[in-house]
Amino acid sequence: MRKFASLLLAGMVATASLGATAYAKNPHVGGAAMFEDKNIVQNAMNSKDHTTLVAAVKAAGLVDTLQGKGPFTVFAPTNEAFAALPKGTVDDLLKPENKDKLVKILTCHVVAAKAMSSDVMSMVKEDGGKHVVDTVGGCKLTLKDDGGKVTVTDENGNTANVTIADVVQSNGVIHVIDKVLLPRM
């Protein structure tokens, strides 16, 4: 984590390996414009592809946290990613009695630093092909370069692809992913 933070503090603002520069106009997510002057929650609420994530963040009581100063890097699973979980999993997680489990899962998608894709790719390269980061939820994620695209593997070996990178927020950055990352329980 120290290496992760030091590279970010070094101000690495290179051309992003995913085809955009760190200062490029934000991509649209879920059919909606994403605004650099809005925070993670405000932008996520506008994405039709992240309604499940927003509902989960609300149920977990994490709205205020993710609207906070940050900086945060959020690996944001789409509705399709949540739908791919075993039937009934999302409904079960949204129940009040499962709030602690939901918080753990969601915070395992958040890193307490702003890491653009160019930063991630640099760390992966420097570490010989993969870079492990600690999440806010205490999980370890393994970041890799898969032919110029970032992949994120959770502690259980499940790998998510970053499908939209470098969505700049006022309090960090979102990278859209195609799978839900799960902590080792």
**Closest C-alpha to 62, from 44, 37, 80:** 44
Supply the pLDDT for residue 120. Answer: 92
Q: Judge contact between 129 and 145, C-beta under 8 A.
A: yes
In a domain, 30, yes or no: yes
Task: Output the furthest CA–CA distance in the chain (Å, rounded).
Answer: 45
Q: What is the DSSP string of 20-67?
A: SBTTSPPPPBTTB---TTS-HHHHHHH-GGGHHHHHHHHHHT-HHHHT
63 pLDDT above the threshold of 60:
yes
Do the domain assignments include residue 63?
A: yes
Which pair of structure tokens corresponds to residue 17? 């390996």
According to DSSP, the residues that pair with 161 across neighbouring strands are: 151
Q: Is residue 182 domain-resident?
A: no
Instruction: State yes or no: pLDDT of 20 exceeds 80.
Output: no
Whether the upstream peptide bond of residue 96 has omega within 30° of 0, thus cis, is no
What pTM was estimated for this model as a whole?
A: 0.84
Q: Is residue 19 part of a domain?
A: no
CATH number at residue 35: 2.30.180.10
Mean pLDDT of 35-49: 89
Asked whether residue 16 is assigned to any structural domain, the reply reads no
pLDDT at residue 67 above 60? yes
Percent of the chain scoring above 90 in pLDDT: 70
Q: What tens digit of pLDDT does each residue of 90-101 get?
A: 999 999 999 999
Any domain includes 55: yes
Number of structural domains (the chain) is 1
Residue span of the structural domain in which 138 resides = 2-9+26-177
Instruction: Look at residue 45 and tell me whether its pLDDT is greater than 70.
Output: yes
Q: What local confidence, expressed as pLDDT, does residue 123 receive?
A: 93
Residue 1 has pLDDT above 90, yes or no: no
Q: Is the pLDDT of residue 16 over 90?
A: no
Residue 114 falls within a domain, yes or no? yes
25 vs 151 pLDDT, higher one: 151
**In this model, does residue 23 exceed pLDDT 80?**
no
Q: Can you tell me the mean pLDDT for 72-86? A: 95
Q: How many CA atoms lie within 13 A of 105 on its CB side?
A: 23
Residue 24 confidence (pLDDT) = 53
Of 15-24, 123-132, 144-153, the one with minimum mean pLDDT is 15-24
65 located within any domain: yes
Bridge partners (DSSP) listed for residue 173: 73, 168
At residue 132 the predicted structure's pLDDT band, cuts being 50, 70 and 90, is very high
